[in-house]
Amino acid sequence: MLIRQLFDQASYTYSYLLADTDSGEALLIDPVFEQTDLYIQLLSELKLSLKYALDTHVHADHITALGALRERLGCQTIVSHISGLACADQHVADGDKIHCGKIALTVLATPGHTDDSLCFYLAPSASNPQGYLFSGDTLLIRGTGRTDFQNGSAETLYHSLFNKVLTLADDTLVYPAHDYKGWTQSSIGEEKANNPRLQVSQASEFVDIMHNLKLANPKMMDVAIPANLQCGQKTSQPFDESKLKMKRHTAAFTTAEQIQPSDVAAIAAKGYSLIINNRPDNEAEGQPSSDEIAQAAADAGLQYAHIPIQRSLPQNAIDEMASQLQKAQGPSFAFCRTGTRSTNLWLCTLKGAEQAQAIEHAKTLGYDLSLAKQALNL
């Protein structure tokens, strides 16, 4: 058997590839739409055939790859019956088994983070003396999923944790759907002993902790939930992302080449709430003016900002960019001729480790970062 943990940097999501290496049958838990090519490459390199793609719940912070994987590989998609997603092939409930070669995953219904939350449990076997729990957002490492939206309930999560998840053997390995700090795996015993949210003696104490977290909504929420209710295939408005050479830096920020006013409605449909134009008017023949883009943005109900950049990144432009991004109600979409100036300007609005990570990621997207390096004295 093969178990591979995969990471989506933009949403801090872990996805898991499980495969029975004898039969070559595989399944993917919580795959992320933007990583679809990577999954397909890995499956092909490992000579595996994808039988199932499954989600632990309807995610608010990223778009699922269930629909894309089904379309490209012909796998079956599986979600909780509580989710009511008509787009999925199979709907599972507590106690159901998912068979993939010699792998048998048991479905545990663990509502609380969302009402449709599931964990997937792989019981110990001769080759794996410890059980594995793919815990979704129900149990995170030293944390738990939040309970303040998507029909979440702290009281329900308490019962799912204490009456179900934590009754598994202490040596059961825990693999969550997210981590924001660098943890990769844990165990039930380790979490019982060290997870601060589990150091409670009754439900009311847990509920108090959960009600006092004061978290901001995920920036992707308004995009991801509607898309995920279609299994990640939002087909109401066809939108050719490749045409615009869109590059996603984080869940909240994407850059692209010069857009046309006619692209704006599709950008809005994709869930962006702010368009930033970093190109001076009249730079090239046939370039739409800032006023034309502004009008299209207003028509589509989007915020719009024009922060023109030429050969350097003045501090007032960096400040204006930061202020516009701060005010954005959801993910932002910035463009110039190639997306390079937008990327460089955005990098200068970030700080510390976040900036360092974004620079590394922007390099992998192929952007020339000399403007930012000059502005930041790197």
Question: Under the rule (CB under 5 A), what is the footprint of Fe ion?
Answer: 137
Smallest distance from Fe ion to CB 243, Å = 31
Residue 11's region, left for phi above 0, alpha for psi from -120 to 50, else beta, is: alpha
CB-wise, 60 or 92, nearer to Fe ion?
60
Comparing CB distances to Fe ion, the nearer of 14 and 333 is: 14
Minimum CB distance to Fe ion, residue 167 (Å): 23
24 exposure class (CB count in 10 Å sphere: 0-12, 13-18, 19+): middle
* Contact indicator for 153, 107 with CB cutoff of 8 Å: no
107 or 297: whose CB is closer to Fe ion? 107
From its phi and psi, is residue 185 left (phi > 0), alpha (psi between -120 and 50) or beta? beta
> Based on CB atoms, which residue is closest to Fe ion, 140 or 309?
140
CB of 152 to Fe ion, least distance (A): 9
Q: Counting Cβ atoms within 10 Å, is residue 129 exposed (0-12), middle (13-18) or buried (19+)?
A: exposed
Q: Which helix (H) or strand (E) holds 183?
A: none
Q: How near is the Cβ of 241 to Fe ion at its closest, in Å?
A: 24
Of the CA atoms within 13 Å of residue 20, those in its CB half-sphere come to 14
The residue among 49 and 217 lying less far from Fe ion, judged by its C-beta, is 217
Q: Shortest Cβ distance from residue 196 to Fe ion (Å)?
A: 19
Q: Nearest 5 degrees, angle CA 89-CA 21-CA 45?
A: 85
Question: CB 217 → Fe ion: shortest distance, Å?
Answer: 12
Using Cβ positions, the residue closest to Fe ion within the complex turns out to be: 137
Nearer to Fe ion, 152 or 288 (CB): 152
